[in-house]
Amino acid sequence: MSKSRRPLVAGNWKMNGLKKSQAEVNKLIKKLTKQHLKCDLLLCPPATLLTRFKNAAKGSRLRLGGQDCHGQEKGAHTGDISAQMLADAGATFVIVGHSERRADHQETDRIVRAKAGAASAAGLKVIVCVGETAGERRQKKTLRVIGRQLTKSIPDKSSSSSTVIAYEPVWAIGSGKTPTTKQVAEVHAFIRRKLVQRFGDEGEGMRILYGGSVNPVNASELLAIANVDGALVGGASLKASNFWGIAASY
Ligand code: PGA
């Protein structure tokens, strides 16, 4: 971890959470007032809860984000949500290109790039997700796939303040399986090289998160790996105690 990169621990609630889930957020806010974290803490609940959570988090250091946005500013796209709407509801971040979106909604790198661009235009910081499937890893295509995703999904104008990368092996998400320390180190070093090649110092400053079955037990080992600047957490972010346990391992 470079001194200049403050770690980020981000929670992705996916399609989970109702009004009553605010109890978990309240616990996080309370912990934040009592204990100083060495990382930024971000929660990405469903869009329906953003404003509610934003109001609850007023004055606290908890940041809020969306889980996806449309690639266009506005218009006739029934059921979609724009980056500006997320910002208006209290988000300061948005995740784009999550593998569940890429798989469930056939999102290509080109679509993800448009989303990242729309997010930046609306003033949101963007977390761009990349990662290989189990089959791609078996076929030794991991770095090739990730190289392509990085090149094609990240807009040219990206900077260290606007953009965070999340490496999430698809086979590690929600499976309880994690890559070895060596595998994580290899991919994160590769991503860093690619970012520096393309963005220079800005690439050096971009945070690279690891995501996929992070929990309070494995967090300290994963977060200590070179070029791992935080975590993107799914299942374990739903409970404040688990999510806090991960963030507090810094
Ligand atoms: P998981 O999900 O922590 O439940 O594996 C991670 C993610 O999809 O961001």
Q: Residue of the nearest CA to atom 3 in ligand 1?
A: 234
Asked whether the beta carbons of 243 and 250 are under 8 A apart, the reply is: no
- Is the pLDDT score of 2 beyond 90? no
Pocket test for ligand 1, best of 16, 93, 213 (most atoms within 8 A of CB): 213
**4 band by pLDDT with thresholds 50, 70 and 90:** confident
Those residues whose C-beta lies under 8 Å from the C-beta of residue 58, and which sit 6 or more positions away, are none
Q: Read off the tokens for 153.
A: 């999904």
**163 band by pLDDT with thresholds 50, 70 and 90:** very high
Residue 129 alpha carbon, nearest atom of ligand 1: 9
- What is the Å distance from ligand 1's center to 144 Cα? 22
Residue 166 alpha carbon, nearest atom of ligand 1: 9
- Is the pLDDT score of 115 beyond 70? yes
Reply yes or no on whether 98 is catalytic.
yes
- Is the pLDDT score of 216 beyond 50? yes
Q: What is the pLDDT of residue 1?
A: 45
CA distances in angstroms from 208 to 15, 184, 204, 228, listed in the order given: 24, 11, 10, 6
Backbone angles phi, psi at 57, to 5 degrees: -90, 0
- What is the Å distance from ligand 1's center to 75 Cα? 31
Residue 99 alpha carbon, nearest atom of ligand 1: 8
- What is the Å distance from ligand 1's center to 198 Cα? 28
CA distances in angstroms from 94 to 47, 170, 250, listed in the order given: 11, 19, 23
Q: Average pLDDT in the 211-227 region?
A: 98
Mean pLDDT over the full length of the chain: 97
Q: Average pLDDT in the 60-72 region?
A: 98
Whose structure tokens read 């992070």?
Answer: 214
Selecting among 24, 98, 107, 136, the annotated active-site residue is 98
Q: What is the pLDDT of residue 102?
A: 97
Q: Average pLDDT in the 99-124 region?
A: 98
Pocket test for ligand 1, best of 233, 243, 246 (most atoms within 8 A of CB): 233
**Is the CA virtual torsion 151, 146, 209, 185 positive or negative?**
negative
What are the boundaries of each domain within the chain? 21-243
Q: What residues are in contact with ligand 1 under a 6 Å CB criterion? A: 12, 168, 173-174, 211-214, 232-236
Backbone angles phi, psi at 81, to 5 degrees: -130, 140
- Is the pLDDT score of 190 beyond 50? yes
CA distances in angstroms from 66 to 79, 81, 131, 155, listed in the order given: 15, 9, 20, 19
Residue 78 burial (C-beta neighbours within 10 Å; 0-12, 13-18, 19+): exposed
Q: Which fold has domain 21-243?
A: TIM Barrel (3.20.20)
Distance between CA atoms of 239 and 230, rounded to whole angstroms?
Answer: 18
CA distances in angstroms from 103 to 91, 177, 184, listed in the order given: 24, 19, 22
Residue 214 alpha carbon, nearest atom of ligand 1: 3
